[in-house]
Amino acid sequence: MDTRPDSGHVLSADRPGRFGPYGGRYVPEALIAALDELDREYTAARQDPAFTAELDHLLTTYTGRPTPVTEAARFGAEAAGGARVLLKREDLNHTGSHKINNVLGQALLTKRIGKPRVIAETGAGQHGVATATAAALMGLECVIYMGEEDTRRQALNVARMRLLGATVVPVTTGSRTLKDAINEALRDWVTNVETTNYVFGTVAGPHPFPTLVRDLQRVIGVEARQQVLDLTGRLPDAVAACVGGGSNAIGIFHAFVDDADVALYGFEAGGDGVATGRHAATITAGSPGVLHGARSYLLQDEMGQTIESHSISAGLDYPGVGPEHAWLKDTGRATYEPVDDADAMEAFRLLCRTEGIIPAIESSHALAGARRLGERLGPDATILVNLSGRGDKDVDTAAKWFGLMSESGEVQA
């Protein structure tokens, strides 16, 4: 684990867990003791050489880190305005996405605290699969909350979690997606907090989660920054990542925050198009408020009721976003733009055809953003893209999108 201190201008010193006006802890009193315990244990663990050594060992021998940086030469030439496109291959992690980086750290923390049970929410299922994996590895009981709509979209991941020994609870309240899965997980946690640790999947939620998850995902950018330097002799002009809750984006951004010449771009899910209202572009189209324990941007109506999000990508289908992203947006350090479903799927197709890599639909939003940046910045530019996950779980959705398979799942002649 990278234990360098936080970048000074990002975390505000006067109030723990605040990023400018964002972040904080808006939770029932019943959860405060558990959040304090997690914060305390994490602070101790990150300074404990035995803990960091165990995590580093797992990241190397179990996950397969460091993940490589792959030059996507054909994609850059044919699909991104001739720009030099470099892919940080988080898709090559064990379990297929960056989520495992965070989960191994939090599962080790759970053992350190001495709780026998973990719970987690999941959207696309990647965080659920990663949590179920770590729970199996460390002998923890595991319950995953997943919106019923998402269990349908990501049926393969539901099966994976169950194979790994986890209990998957389909959530039937509200929009039946990630937002409601988090509500149910929080309800479980407030009830079972004595025996249970909540392994939160993204850089949202109450303090310490945005900081804890960010620190555990920082490894992506720390590796990638050096790899790009080694490969090209200089820093990239731009870094692109998709943003739902924002963990893979913070993970790759953070090591570059102090590199003023490196532009940081977060690509949100534009769904059917921001103008249609059916999207998950929280920073682009939302406003500041409180959801799931933290102040940040969210999609809400004039009464402060959360508005349901929409995206072809279950992992980005969330009406909130991590508070550090809200602050990076307000300070102008990072730029956030929407990518709609059609553009994401076109980038998905192009990466398959030009590089032989099937990306996750989530990550395809970053690839679509990189295409846009390539057109803007031109052939001299180097763009680092966080390929946060692989697309095996999305083959069904993609096959239907491209007409390779009927809605009922029959392969077209």
The residue behind tokens 């530019």 is 381
Which string of DSSP letters, residue by residue, matches 263-329? EEEEEEEEEEEGGGTEEE-HHHH-EEEEETTEEEEE-B-TTSPBPPP--S-GGG--SB--HHHHHHH
Please pick, from the candidates 3, 7, 8, 28, the single residue that binds other proteins as defined by CB under 8 A. Answer: 28
* Chain residues 147-186 in contact with other proteins, contact rule CB under 8 A: 173-174, 179, 183, 186
Kindly report the number of other CB atoms within 10 A of residue 332's CB atom: 7
Query: To the nearest whole angstrom, how small is the minimum distance from the Cβ of residue 379 to other proteins?
Result: 47
Query: To the nearest whole angstrom, how small is the minimum distance from the Cβ of residue 294 to other proteins?
Result: 10
Which string of DSSP letters, residue by residue, matches 163-198? HTT-EEEEE-STTSSHHHHHHHHHHHHHHHTTTEEE
41, 121, 149, 324: which is the annotated catalytic residue?
121
Contact between 195 and other proteins (CB under 8 A)? Answer: no
What does the DSSP 8-state code read for residue 360? -
Task: Output 284 or 300, the one with its CB closest to other proteins.
Answer: 300
* Chain residues 220-239 in contact with other proteins, contact rule CB under 8 A: none
Task: Output 124 or 291, the one with its CB closest to other proteins.
Answer: 291
Active site residue 363: no
Contact between 115 and other proteins (CB under 8 A)? Answer: no
Contact between 277 and other proteins (CB under 8 A)? Answer: no
Q: How far is 284 from 278, CA to CA, in rounded Å?
A: 13
On whether the CB atoms of residues 118 and 140 are closer than 8 A, the answer is: yes
Query: To the nearest whole angstrom, how small is the minimum distance from the Cβ of residue 287 to other proteins?
Result: 9
Query: To the nearest whole angstrom, how small is the minimum distance from the Cβ of residue 1 to other proteins?
Result: 29
On whether the CB atoms of residues 197 and 152 are closer than 8 A, the answer is: no
- Taking CB under 8 A as the binding criterion, the range among 128-136, 215-223, 289-297, 336-344 that sits at the site for other proteins is 289-297
Q: Which residues bind other proteins (CB under 8 A)?
A: 24-34, 173-174, 179, 183, 186-187, 190-194, 289-293, 300, 302-306
